[in-house]
Amino acid sequence: MSSLLVLNGSPRGSHSNSMCMMSPVIEGWKSSGAPEPEVLHLAQRGEFERAIEHFPAADTVLLGMPLYTDAMPALVKLYIEALAPYVESASQRDQKPTLGFLVQSGFEEALHSRPLEHYFEKLARRLGSPYAGTIVRGSGWSLPLMPENENRALVTHLRALGNQLARNRRFSEAELRVVAGTERFSPTAAAWLSLAFSSPAAIPNSHWDRALEKNNVWDRRYAAPYADALPT
């Protein structure tokens, strides 16, 4: 059976939302009878180095991360740049691990992650690796907060994707669409949400308000320290 190297690209490490989403994928992988995968957290220096060293020996690599305002975390970019030597031998495709990715974000719409998905597909080509696909999911912040029964369907589909990765070395497009959820809000829904979020009493606002108060920066919530540096 194939070996799997799981790389968690979240700066929050093992307690991250990204890891919460990858755990069912790992369960699905193991349910196929495949061996226990190696899980490394890029936020830990020693594991970051092992992730580079172990990359060429893995049959399959799953790299997961959060999306921060339409950009990958810096440590993921640093890891990708460390793989540059493997591009030079990209023609030896049979020696390259299959690459799969997972991107979760706080955005509700999956479309925010699509540019990163296209980037990862191109990255696989540059590394000469087969591309398994990219798992995209919005509202990643809610997974660890919701009751288990509310997440049951999503967890089931994530496990199915892990099983597919082990058996076929590729994610099913149909399963990826289900996991992605809402691709884009309708104009009506977008207008309603814009109105709801603009209210001072909006639930998402209260979450951030509590965070500001907890960190003693409530009085500086409208601070714009770089405003003077902007061109006029």
Digit-coded pLDDT (tens) for 179-227: 999 888 888 887 877 776 676 655 666 767 888 899 999 898 888 887 7
The domain of 207 spans 187-219
What angle, 0 to 180 degrees and rounded to 10, lies between the N-to-C axes of helices 173-180 and 148-168? 160
The CA distance from 165 to 171, in Å, is: 6
Look over the chain and give the mean of its residue pLDDT values, rounded to a whole number. Answer: 88
pLDDT bracket for residue 17 (50, 70, 90): very high
In the predicted structure, residue 42 carries a pLDDT above the cut 90: yes
| Pair 173, 211 in one domain | no
The CA distance from 29 to 160, in Å, is: 8
Average pLDDT over residues 6-35: 94
The CA distance from 132 to 120, in Å, is: 10
Give domain status of residue 229, yes or no: no
| Pair 133, 207 in one domain | no
- Report how many domains make up the chain: 2
Give domain status of residue 197, yes or no: yes
| Pair 168, 56 in one domain | yes
| Pair 126, 148 in one domain | yes
> pLDDT over 70 for what percent of the chain?
90
In the predicted structure, residue 93 carries a pLDDT above the cut 70: no
| Pair 169, 200 in one domain | no
Give domain status of residue 231, yes or no: no
The CA-CA-CA angle for residues 145, 17, 23, to 5°, reads 100
Question: Burial, 50: exposed, middle or buried (Cβ in 10 Å; 0-12, 13-18, 19+)?
Answer: middle
Average pLDDT over residues 50-68: 95
- Pairing mode, if any, of strands 4-8 and 60-66? parallel
Phi/psi region, residue 92 (left: phi>0; alpha: psi -120 to 50; beta: rest), is: beta
| Pair 136, 215 in one domain | no
| Pair 84, 136 in one domain | yes
The CA distance from 66 to 85, in Å, is: 25
Give domain status of residue 124, yes or no: yes
Give domain status of residue 224, yes or no: no
More confident residue, 30 or 185: 30
In the predicted structure, residue 70 carries a pLDDT above the cut 90: no
CB 165 within 8 A of CB 100: yes
Give domain status of residue 83, yes or no: yes
| Pair 111, 90 in one domain | yes
Give domain status of residue 73, yes or no: yes
pLDDT at 71 (0 to 100): 85
More confident residue, 166 or 193: 166
Q: pLDDT, tens digit, for every residue of 101-142? A: 999 998 888 999 999 999 999 999 999 999 999 999 988 777
Out of 30-44, 142-156, 160-174, 210-224, least confident range: 142-156
CATH value at residue 125:
3.40.50.360
Give domain status of residue 141, yes or no: yes
| Pair 99, 196 in one domain | no
